[in-house]
Amino acid sequence: MYPKKGGDGLWNGARWRHGNQGIIFTPPRPRRSNGDLKAQRRQGKASAETALHLAIVEQCGAGAVLHTHSQAGTLLSQWALQRDPQTRASGEGRLELADLEMLKGLQGFTSHACVARVPVLANDQNLPRLASRALPLLADAPQGLLIAGHGLYAWGSDLATARRHLEILEFLLEQRWRQLLLEALLNPPQVPHQSGTQSTVTHTEATPPSSSPRP
């Protein structure tokens, strides 16, 4: 978990229902701590990203939606789309997070032996269009959605649940990039020998020293 930071500390905004008073907005503000979230809540001005927050509220029946710009979310969301020509072309993919005890912190997950497939969408400055592309992906999303090169949206039935999902997903993202890094270090890609170099070595090893006079 992140006792002193929300994701990487980059709360970008929160939306949650507040009784009959509608949805409360917190304006984007970098380096907001968890403790500040409660203290800072107020009826603020809706940001440009509100369309996506509201799509999640309406489609998932969420009571709260939180959004972060963590480095792990930014990094892995780009990686998830770019590593495959098909997802790169469609602008839509999934990031798989598997076999980890912390998965059980997500609603509906009761074992570590399962896979959370977080939908990933290409970023788009047209937020209504981005929200409409997100809608069909939300129903089976593990309470989280990644926007490539941008960040994570996490939600829940209330603010406490959304915050738990956010912290769990941020942990899983951190774990995933470390896992990928470890795998790359343990299994570095094989660099093919250049034909000229290999030929030279072979020649050197195979050719006897012709200038040496035999006794």
Q: Which residues does 212 contact at the CB level (< 8 Å), separation at least 6?
A: none
Pick 12 or 77: Cβ nearer Zn ion: 12
Pick 12 or 50: Cβ nearer Zn ion: 12
Q: C-beta of 113: minimal distance to Zn ion in Å?
A: 33
Site for Zn ion in 110-139 (CB under 5 A): none
Q: C-beta of 186: minimal distance to Zn ion in Å?
A: 34
Residue (of 17, 7, 9, 101) closest to 53 by Cα position: 17
Please give the residue whose beta carbon sits closest to Zn ion in the complex: 12
Site for Zn ion in 11-50 (CB under 5 A): 12
Of 4-12, 14-22, 73-81, 131-139, the window that binds Zn ion (rule: CB under 5 A) is 4-12
Q: Is 74 in the site for Zn ion (CB under 5 A)?
A: no
Q: C-beta of 56: minimal distance to Zn ion in Å?
A: 13
Q: C-beta of 126: minimal distance to Zn ion in Å?
A: 14
Bridge-partner residues for 95, per DSSP?
118
Q: Strand 151-156 relative to strand 144-147: parallel, antiparallel, unpaired? A: antiparallel
Q: C-beta of 86: minimal distance to Zn ion in Å?
A: 26
Please say whether the beta carbons of 153 and 56 come within 8 A.
yes
Q: C-beta of 185: minimal distance to Zn ion in Å?
A: 31
Please say whether the beta carbons of 31 and 111 come within 8 A.
no
Region of 4 please: left (phi>0), alpha (psi -120 to 50) or beta: alpha
Grouping H, G, I as helix, E, B as strand and the rest as coil, residue 116 is: strand
Of 8-16, 71-79, 114-122, 123-131, the window that binds Zn ion (rule: CB under 5 A) is 8-16
Binding residues for Zn ion, rule CB under 5 A, total 1
Task: State the sign of the Cα–Cα–Cα–Cα dihedral 158, 164, 167, 173.
Answer: negative
Please say whether the beta carbons of 162 and 80 come within 8 A.
no
Of 7-15, 18-26, 186-194, 204-212, the window that binds Zn ion (rule: CB under 5 A) is 7-15
Q: Which residues bind Zn ion (CB under 5 A)?
A: 12
